[in-house]
């Protein structure tokens, strides 16, 4: 198990927001770690559609494959006031989750800078990250892909720290 020491990065932005959707809890676990290390705001996106159980899993995959949008609950935080929005999604059937697709579409004009992370069973995240970039029309400053196995076994913190270090280096420029 990796150490849970606080990140001691040399660059601290004033306004960072971590936004995520999580059906199973894995993406939430990563989002919380990023937020704790950066000591920044965090917001969970809630889908109004019930995604629990087998039927929820199947409808999630169907919505993702068909690139559908969904209705998300009202957000508390306005992404336009943040210098950087870090957006996290699970990969559903090789695609962005419907709640994150909806969030990106609704707020693409509000982002100054973005970074993306995802959790997956084993899918290649490259396509998902490209789709996210296409929707929000901004190149991400950094990317982080984690497998469900890494998150379940608490073997993800080193990758999270590398992601944050990469972000800090890009933000210094």
What is the residue extent of each domain of the chain? 16-172
Instruction: Classify 31 as helix, strand or coil.
Output: helix
Residue 157 has pLDDT above 50, yes or no: yes
Superfamily of domain 16-172: Flavodoxin domain (3.40.50.360)
Mean pLDDT of 49-77: 76
Judged against a pLDDT cut of 70, whether residue 6 lies above it is answered with: no
pLDDT of residue 3: 32
Residue 95: strand pairing partners: 92
Cβ pair 47, 72 in contact under 8 A? yes
| pLDDT number for residue 66 | 66
The pLDDT tens digits for 9-30 are 444 456 999 999 998 899 999 9
Record the pTM: 0.85
Reduced to 3 states (helix: H, G, I; strand: E, B; else coil), residue 131 is helix
Using alpha carbons, list the distances in angstroms from residue 171 to 16, 40, 63, 117, 153. 12, 15, 35, 17, 31
Query: What is the spatial distance between Cα 155 and Cα 28, in angstroms, rounded to a whole number?
Result: 15
Average pLDDT, the chain: 86
CA 7 to chain centre: 19
């Amino acid at each position: 198990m990796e150490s849970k020491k606080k990140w001691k990065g040399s660059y601290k932005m004033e306004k960072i927001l971590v936004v995520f959707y999580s059906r199973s809890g894995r993406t939430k676990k990563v989002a919380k770690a990023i937020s704790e290390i950066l000591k920044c705001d965090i917001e969970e996106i809630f889908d109004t559609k019930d995604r629990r159980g087998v039927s929820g899993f199947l409808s999630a995959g169907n919505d993702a494959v068909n690139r559908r949008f969904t209705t998300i609950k009202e957000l508390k935080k306005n992404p336009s006031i943040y210098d950087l929005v870090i957006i996290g999604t699970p990969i559903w059937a090789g695609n962005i989750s419907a709640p994150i697709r909806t969030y990106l579409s609704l707020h693409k004009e509000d982002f100054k800078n973005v970074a993306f992370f995802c959790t997956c069973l084993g899918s290649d995240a490259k396509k998902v990250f490209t789709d996210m970039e296409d929707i929000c029309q901004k190149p991400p400053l950094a990317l982080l892909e984690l497998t469900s196995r890494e998150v379940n076994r608490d073997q993800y913190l080193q990758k999270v720290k590398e992601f944050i270090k990469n972000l800090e280096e890009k933000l210094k420029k």
